[in-house]
Chain A
Amino acid sequence: MKIRIKSDIALSKTGFVFNPQTGESFSLNPMGSEIFCLLRDGFSTEEVVKIITDRFDVSAHSFSTDLDDFVAMLRRYELTDEA
C-alpha cells in the first residue's frame, strides 16, 4: 500500500516535522524518521517492512503492527494526502 506524505511537509535531520498548512509541529524518533523518509520517497508499506526487517532483528508481524500504528497516526495528524 502506498502512503502519500503531503509534499509540503518539512522534516529536519533531527526528526522535527513541520506542517506549514496547519502550523503544527511533531517530533519523530530515529526509526520514525527513517520510515517517514521511505514513505515520502514512494516506498509502499510492504516494501518498508521488507527493508526494515532485513536490516533489524524484528519479525515482520511485530514490525507491521507498529508500522500500521505509525501510518494511522500520520493520517490522524493529517500528514498524508488520504486523510
Chain B
Amino acid sequence: MIKPINATMPGKSGTDAYISPMLDIDGVSVHSLAERFGTPLFVVSEKQLRRNIRMAKRAFSTRLPKVVFAWSYKTNYLDAVCRAFHQEGSWAEVVSGFEYDKALSNGVPGDHIVFNGPSKNREDLEKALKNSSLIHIDNLDELYMLVELAGELQCRPQVAVRVNLNAGTLPVWDRFGFNLENGQALDAVSKIMSFGCMDLRGLHCHIGTFILSSKAYGIAAQKLADFACDIRRLFGVAVEYIDMGGGFASKNTLKASYLVGADICPSMDDYAEEIADAFHKAPFGKGEFPALLLETGRALVDDAGFLIASVLTNKRSAQGGRYTVMDAGVNLLFTSFWYNHKISPAQLYSQHFENTTLYGPLCMNIDVVREQVSLPLLNKGDLLVVHNVGAYNMTQWMQFITLRPNIVMIEENGGTKLIREAEKFDDVTRLERL
C-alpha cells in the first residue's frame, strides 16, 4: 500500500481514528448471519428496540403524569417490530388504510389507534369510526366527510385537530393540518363545536423531522397548551391529550451536518424536559391536565437496525480514487440519500485506511451509499455493516433491479429469527398480466 504524505491541516476530526470492526450484533457473529441468511441482510436488534422505548418512557413519564407512545407504523411496519413496541405498551399511529389494517392485525385495539395523515378515504374513515379510533383531522374536506359519516353511521367520531405552527425551525411544516398563527386551527375547532356531532379529544402537531433542537418542542408544546386553554375558555371543552408528534433525531449524521450525529443528537431527556416544562407552565384547569401522546419513530428504531453487505469488487477511479462496490445500494438504503451512514468492516483488518467511495450494486449512477468514507483495504467477499438503518429503510425500500432481502431479528434471549423472507421471482411477477 502506498499513501501520499500531506503536511496539511488536520480535518475537523483530527487524524484518522481507529474504527473497531463490528464482528457481532448482540453477540451473534456477523459472518454467521451472512452465511445463514445471505447478503444483503437487514438485522434488527430486539434488545435495542426495547431499550430505546423503555428509556423514552422513563424520560417522559418521570416528568408528566400521563404519557402514551403510539408506534409510528410508517417508520417501520414489520410486524415483529410493531409487536415489540405494542408489548411495551405503545399504541399504533397510522397514516393509511393499509397501515390501519396492519395495526388491527397486530392486535391493537381500535381505540388505541391514532389515524393521521392527509389521505384518509371514506372506507378508511368508516373503519376507523366503527373501531372508535382517534382520527386526527388534516383538512376541511375530511372534517365534512366525518360529519356525513357520523350521521350515516350514527356514531360520534373521536377526533383531534392536526395543527401546524411555527416553532422556530425551518422549514415550517405547514402542509399538514390547520395553521395556528393565522387562525385556521381555531376555525376548524369552531366548526367541530358548531356541528356538535363529534368529540374533540385532542390537539396534534408535528413540527418537522430530525429536529436537532429540543427547544423547538418547548415552543410547540407551549403554543399547543395555550391553544388548548383557549379552547377550554371559548367552548368549555378541555382536550384530553396533546399529541406532540415525532421528529426526534436519531444518531445518524445528516449529509449537511458538520458534526457527527451521535455527538449532537439531543437525548430523550432533553426533549422530555422541554415539553414537560411547557406543559407544567400552562394554565390547565384543575383535573384537566392533558395526557401527552408521542409518535416518535426514528429515534426509537434507527439504531436497532443494521444492514450487512458483501464487497463485490474494488476499482480505481480515473483520478486514482478508491471505489468499493457492495451488494446493498440505495434501493435498500433510501436514507443514504440524506445520511452519511456509519460503516464498519465486519472482520479484522490492518491499520491502513483509504478514503473510499462506497457504491451499491445497481447499474445506476445514483447508487452511492457514501461519497467519501475512510475504510481499510477490503477484499471481494468481505463484509460491511451499515449502522442506524432501522428507520424508514424497511418501509421505503424499493424492489428495483434486484429483489428485497431477508430481515432477521436478534431476540432478547440471543436467538435469531427470520422476520421477513427475501422476495422471490414469483413474488414480483405473479402480479403482472399479459
A interface residues (Cβ-Cβ under 8 A, vs B): 17, 24-29, 31-32, 36, 62, 65-66, 69-70, 72-74, 76-77
Contact = CB atoms under 8 A, between A and B. Distances in A.
A64 to B, nearest CB: 12
Pairs of residues from A and B, 7 with the lowest C-beta to C-beta distance, nearest first: A76-B320, A25-B5, A29-B1, A32-B1, A72-B316, A26-B2, A27-B3
A76 B318 CA distance: 9
B316 A70 contact: no
Given A69-B314, A73-B320, A76-B316, A32 B2 contact: yes
Interface of A: prevailing SS: helix
B87 interface: no
Contact of B3 (A26, A36, A66): A26
B4 interface: yes
Given A74-B2, A76-B319, A77-B4, 10 more contacts: A25-B5, A26-B2, A26-B3, A26-B4, A26-B5, A69-B316, A70-B1, A72-B316, A73-B316, A77-B2
Interface of B: prevailing SS: loop
B320 A27 contact: no
Contacts of B320: 72-73, 76-77
B4 A70 contact: no
Interface residues of B, number: 14
Contacts of A62: 379
A70 B316 CA distance: 10
Interface in B255-287: none
B227 to A, nearest CB: 63
B58 interface: no
A3 B350 CA distance: 26
